[in-house]
Amino acid sequence: MSLALTRRASAEFAGTALLVAAVVGSGIAATRLSPHDVGLQLLENALATALALGALILTFGPVSGAHFNPIVSAVDWWLGRHAGTGLTGRDLAAYCVAQVTGAIAGAALADLMFGLPAVAWSHTDRTGGNLWLAEVVATAGLVVLVFALARSGRTSAAPAAVGAYLGAAYWFTSSTSFANPAVTIGRAFTDTFAGIAPTSVPGFVAAQLVGGLVAITALAAWYPHAEDAAHAVVVPKLAEETGRR
């Protein structure tokens, strides 16, 4: 692995870890601060996640693009593979490994910060057609948003826009918008407010993959030549990090 790719993969690892730490940690804090109000718990969890995501995009975006999500990375590779503008196959593999391992590390970190065992399998079942449909919608919307911002030259709005979308999607989807296979896997390692039972993970991940395919179709209709901006997803990387591909 080249030094540049190692640097970008490490940013994806750290960014995804901190994102999951924010999701899980704010969920734990919410249940302790508002033990009798589930609605308030979800609001606290959503606000913390949205704000953290925006900050993490600002922090790691110039290094790796701040994908933090295998679906975003896979669509970036798929759209840009012929034009040479997106991730290469090698980049995609490195990003996905970094994102999944980062998510698991982030869940363990959050548990440890709140005095819990580092790893405890979640017992929260999240299964059913309505939840899977919600994950399709949440994932498709997220992917279309980030590529629309890149294609229209508005990547400077990505930290606020992506954070706002995820924060809102907590509320308008029945699944509370995981929209991310790495985050879904990581959240299986914590038996807390944000957890998901390991047996529920495959259904969520499958729905997220379908959401990615829906997004590719939508982008072809609404944003022709989206592949021209694949290098700028979620935000543009520094030229020295991309090797000026």
What lies within 8 Å, CB to CB, of 96 at 6+ separation is 70, 73, 74, 182
**Looking at per-residue confidence, does 230 or 21 come out higher?**
21
Residue 142: predicted pLDDT: 98
Residue 239: predicted pLDDT: 62
Asked if pLDDT for residue 156 goes beyond 50, the answer is: yes
Identify the burial level of 129 via C-beta atoms within 10 angstroms of its C-beta, where 0-12 means exposed, 13-18 middle and 19 or more buried.
Answer: exposed
- Cα Dmax for the chain: 53
Cut 0.85: pTM above it:
yes
- Closest to 68 measured CA to CA, from 4, 20, 118: 20
Mean pLDDT calculated for residue range 186-209? 98
3-225+232-237 placed in CATH 1.10.645.10: no
Quote the CA–CA distance of 101 and 116 in Å, as a whole number.
20
Q: Which two tokens stand for residue 231?
A: 């290098």
Mean pLDDT calculated for residue range 158-180? 98
For 100, phi and psi rounded to 5 degrees? -70, -50
Residue 2: predicted pLDDT: 84
Is the sign of the CA dihedral 184, 235, 151, 161 positive or negative?
Answer: positive
Residue 216: predicted pLDDT: 97
pLDDT above 90 coverage of the chain, percent: 90
Confidence class for position 1, pLDDT limits 50, 70, 90 = confident
| Range of lowest pLDDT (144-148, 170-174, 215-219, 223-227) | 223-227
pLDDT above 70 coverage of the chain, percent: 97
Residue with tokens 């995804």: 16
Q: Which two tokens stand for residue 86?
A: 């997106």
**Cβ-contact 107, 189 below 8 angstroms:** yes
The string of pLDDT tens digits covering residues 40-95 is: 999 999 999 999 999 999 999 999 999 999 999 999 999 998 778 889 999 999 99
The string of pLDDT tens digits covering residues 118-127 is: 999 999 999 9
Confidence class for position 237, pLDDT limits 50, 70, 90 = confident
**Residue 127 CA to its chain's centroid (Å):** 20
Residue 245: predicted pLDDT: 44
**Cβ-contact 30, 41 below 8 angstroms:** yes
Asked if pLDDT for residue 5 goes beyond 90, the answer is: yes
Quote the CA–CA distance of 64 and 103 in Å, as a whole number.
16
What lies within 8 Å, CB to CB, of 52 at 6+ separation is 18, 19, 22, 23, 26
Average confidence score pLDDT of the chain: 95
For the chain, domain boundaries: 3-225+232-237
